[in-house]
Chains A and B, each alone.
Chain A
Amino acid sequence: MKRILFVLSLALICSVARMDAQLKINLDNLASKAKEVVDLSLDSAMLQTAGQFLSAEKSNEAKAKALISGLKGVYVKSYQFDKEGQYTLDDLKPIREQLQVPGWSRILNVVDNREGAEIYLKAEEGKTAGIAILAWEARELTIVQIIGPINLDQLSELGGRFGIPPVVVPDVKKKLTK
Chain B
Amino acid sequence: METPEAFSQVLREHQRMVFSLAYHFLHDAALAEEVAQDVFLELNGKLEALESPAHIRHWLRRVTVHRSIDQSRRRKARPQVGLDEVQEPSSPPAVGDPLRDGLLRRLVAALPEKPRMVVVLRYQEDLDPAEIAEVLSMPVRTVKSHLQRSLDMLRRKMERMDGEARI
Quick one: CB contact mask for A96-133 with B, threshold 8 Å, 1 for yes?
Answer: 00000000000000001111000000000000000000
The A interface, classified by DSSP as helix, strand, loop or mixed, is loop
**How many residues of B are counted as interface, with CB atoms below 8 angstroms from the partner's CB atoms?**
12
Task: Please state if B29 and A163 are interface contacts (CB–CB under 8 Å).
Answer: yes
Give the nearest-CB partner of A84 in chain B. Answer: B77
Contact residues in A for B33 (Cβ distance below 8 Å) = 163
Quick one: CB contact mask for A145-178 with B, threshold 8 Å, 1 for yes?
Answer: 0000000000000001001111010100000000
A92 CB-CB contact with B under 8 Å: no
A21 CB-CB contact with B under 8 Å: no
State the CA gap A114–B74 with chains docked (Å): 12
Task: Please state if B77 and A138 are interface contacts (CB–CB under 8 Å).
Answer: yes
**How many residues of A are counted as interface, with CB atoms below 8 angstroms from the partner's CB atoms?**
14
State the CA gap A31–B53 with chains docked (Å): 44
Task: Please state if B78 and A113 are interface contacts (CB–CB under 8 Å).
Answer: yes
A43 CB-CB contact with B under 8 Å: no
Task: Please state if B102 and A166 are interface contacts (CB–CB under 8 Å).
Answer: yes
State the CA gap A65–B57 with chains docked (Å): 39
Contact residues in A for B70 (Cβ distance below 8 Å) = none
B28 CB-CB contact with A under 8 Å: yes
State the CA gap A63–B102 with chains docked (Å): 20
Contact residues in B for A164 (Cβ distance below 8 Å) = 29-30
Knowing A166-B102, A168-B89, A170-B90, say if A137 contacts B29 (CB, 8 Å): no
The residues of B with any CB-CB pair to A shorter than 8 Å are: 27-30, 33, 74-75, 77-78, 89-90, 102
The residues of A with any CB-CB pair to B shorter than 8 Å are: 112-115, 137-139, 160, 163-166, 168, 170
What 3 A-B pairs are tightest by C-beta distance, nearest first? A163-B29, A165-B28, A163-B30
